[in-house]
Structure 1
Amino acid sequence: MAGSLLALPQDVSLERIVAVARERGYTAHGEMFSAASMARLAEEVFGCQVELLAGGLGEPNQSRVLRHLISGRPLLVPYDEDFNHEPCKKSGHKAHWAVGAGVLLGVPSPALSPDYEEDTELKGLFYPASGKPPPPLPDPPEAIYLLCKQGKSWHYQLWDYQQLCESNLQLAQLAPSRTTDGRVYVVPPGGVLAGLCGQALLLQP
């Protein structure tokens, strides 16, 4: 999903991604409990640049994440997935990866710069002006939602930024069901807490 947002010269199949991850020892069954391994995998299979963020999605990282998304580049973020695919807090027992593809900011109208253009059909909805560098962030946004997608869902959803931030920050444990299912998973030193908690990836060509 992230690769499709990078305008790659050719598509990289899911089979190829999983094969490389297995060859490198990043995964055994498709699991990915290390953000650092996910970053190396993305760099290898997509030929892209990846910035690994630590310390969560709040400030000082929040401004970088929002600017990254406004510029049209994908975010990869681990979180706990609820029954409806939205973020929840299950201590890492429902840990999954999601791709962020965009951002919706709620701002007072006087806060917008002329670098934003209003949608022709939906009044009050503004986009960065085409053909120009990404405009500055409205300061401060009164509401922040990310346009995200999880691999088991057909559709993008709008997720509250703070909920995703909180979900990402509490990833701490491997699900008990995984420890008793008879399979061996690739878990980094320090476990899920060290591998995923408070981490996210910014991908760019």
Structure 2
Amino acid sequence: MSQSSNNNRICLPLFISIPIPPPPLFVIAAGRINACNIVGEPKCQKIEDDMKDFVFKIIAELTIADRAFVFKYKYLMPVLQDGPNCGLAALSMVTSCKKEIIKLEDIFDYAKSKGFSNNGEMFSVHYMAEIAQALIGCDVKILEDGIRNKEIIIDEILSGGLLLIPYDADFNHSPCKKKGHRAHWAVVCGLILEGMPPAESLEQDDSIKGNCIQYLPGERKFTIKQMSKAFVPDKLFMLARQGKSLHPAVWKYDDLKDSNENLVEFDPTKAASEMNYIIPPEGVEGGLKGKALILKGLPSTTVDELGNYVKILKNLVELESI
């Protein structure tokens, strides 16, 4: 929904030599240039890059402080939005965990054909639920109370669910409270719980499928385990993707919840613009405020993936502590 405006062009005399800036979001690797800004196409940000982001943002601090934590993550391919289609970009990211990603433009065509959107905007959780059910074929649970119940959200994500949630996005895309004027969408695909270690937990073996990674400070190691109910979290961080960055975000749970619950009105600036936005009959407040979606029945993180994450995390944390 957030849409960047074009800068005014400045005409310069021909004799002034201006260095040509590099193309945006290009990376040079293995002697060639890879473009990363094609909407709906696979991006250069890979799981190793995601793990680096998490280590630099929070995990290294947790391990240094000798706090136990639980790490759950499902890698989704980033998809950059083009205009105010952040919700549709989030849906396209969700499909990347299946065999074939559904391109953003195809999701937009469907949304427009249903009368849900004119420009890619999505101001209704119910509209998003219908699109997800029709195009992705997953089980969709509408959370009419949003993410107020922390225990339910933790259980759903640990069980492999993905959380689609509207919120107000600040200039750095993190949650803020602007009364819905900067309404945006994100997909939460993981979490980090910080707290006291469980009294006992099930070790990973051939007969047990671990659903998360736990860091055990006493043993100073990452271990694949089943989440134990004995784990008492002090802090909860949400791991999310949104359509304006290739990098995953780490947000405090309370910040995201408060932002989601402040979506009360349509941005007056957008209302006064020449663009025609589709607002549901119940308005922005009725369509978005304090609401979210849980998507279930999609491929979840496998034990092999978790094992790969453990190897990457161990190496990164060791490098960070040198």
**For 1:77-123, what per-residue CA distance to the aligned partner results, in whole angstroms no more than 9, with x for missing partners?**
00000111100000000000001010100111245633565469xx7
Q: TM-score, normalised by structure 2?
A: 0.57
Secondary structure of 1:107 counterpart: strand
Kept after mapping to 2: 8 A contact 1:52/1:202: yes
**5+ unaligned residues in a row in structure 1: which ranges?**
none
Which one of 156, 178, 193 corresponds to residue 90 of structure 1?
178
Q: In structure 2, do the counterparts of structure 1 residues 38 and 124 end up closer, same or farther at CA, with 3 Å as the change threshold?
A: farther
Pairing 1:159-198 to 2, within 5 Å after superposition:
159-198=251-290
Aligned residue number for residue 25 of structure 1:
115
Aligned positions, number = 197
The alignment status of 1:13 with 2:99, answered yes or no, reads no
Distance 1:90 1:97 in 2: 14
Q: In structure 2, do the counterparts of structure 1 residues 38 and 118 end up closer, same or farther at CA, with 3 Å as the change threshold?
A: closer
Distance 1:138 1:80 in 2: 34
Which one of 104, 109, 134 corresponds to residue 192 of structure 2?
104
Secondary structure of 2:102 counterpart: coil
TM-superposed CA distance for 1:172, in Å, is: 0.3
Kept after mapping to 2: 8 A contact 1:118/1:124: no
RMSD: 2.2
Pairing 1:53-202 to 2, within 5 Å after superposition:
53-59=143-149, 62-111=150-199, 113-114=201-202, 118=214, 129=225, 135-138=227-230, 140-202=232-294
- Letter of the 1:44 partner, please give it: A
Kept after mapping to 1: 8 A contact 2:164/2:188: yes
Distance 1:139 1:9 in 2: 34
Task: Give the % identical residues.
Answer: 36
Distance 1:160 1:125 in 2: 24
Q: In structure 2, do the counterparts of structure 1 residues 3 and 114 end up closer, same or farther at CA, with 3 Å as the change threshold?
A: farther
Distance 2:283 2:199 in 1: 43
- Letter of the 1:146 partner, please give it: M
Kept after mapping to 1: 8 A contact 2:168/2:260: yes
- Letter of the 1:141 partner, please give it: P
TM-superposed CA distance for 1:139, in Å, is: 5.2
Q: In structure 2, do the counterparts of structure 1 residues 187 and 5 end up closer, same or farther at CA, with 3 Å as the change threshold?
A: closer
Which one of 17, 37, 59 corresponds to residue 127 of structure 2?
37
Secondary structure of 1:165 counterpart: helix
Aligned residue number for residue 52 of structure 1:
142
Kept after mapping to 2: 8 A contact 1:52/1:199: yes
- Letter of the 1:68 partner, please give it: E
**5+ unaligned residues in a row in structure 2: which ranges?**
1-89, 204-211, 298-322
Distance 1:30 1:183 in 2: 11
Q: TM-score, normalised by structure 1?
A: 0.87
TM-superposed CA distance for 1:20, in Å, is: 0.3
Say which one has the larger Rg: 2
Distance 1:97 1:114 in 2: 36
Q: Structure 1 residue runs of 4+, over 6 Å off?
A: none
Secondary structure of 1:142 counterpart: strand
Distance 2:214 2:153 in 1: 23
- Relative CO higher for 1 or 2, CA cutoff 8 Å, sep ≥ 6? 1
Distance 1:15 1:5 in 2: 15
Q: In structure 2, do the counterparts of structure 1 residues 145 and 138 end up closer, same or farther at CA, with 3 Å as the change threshold?
A: farther
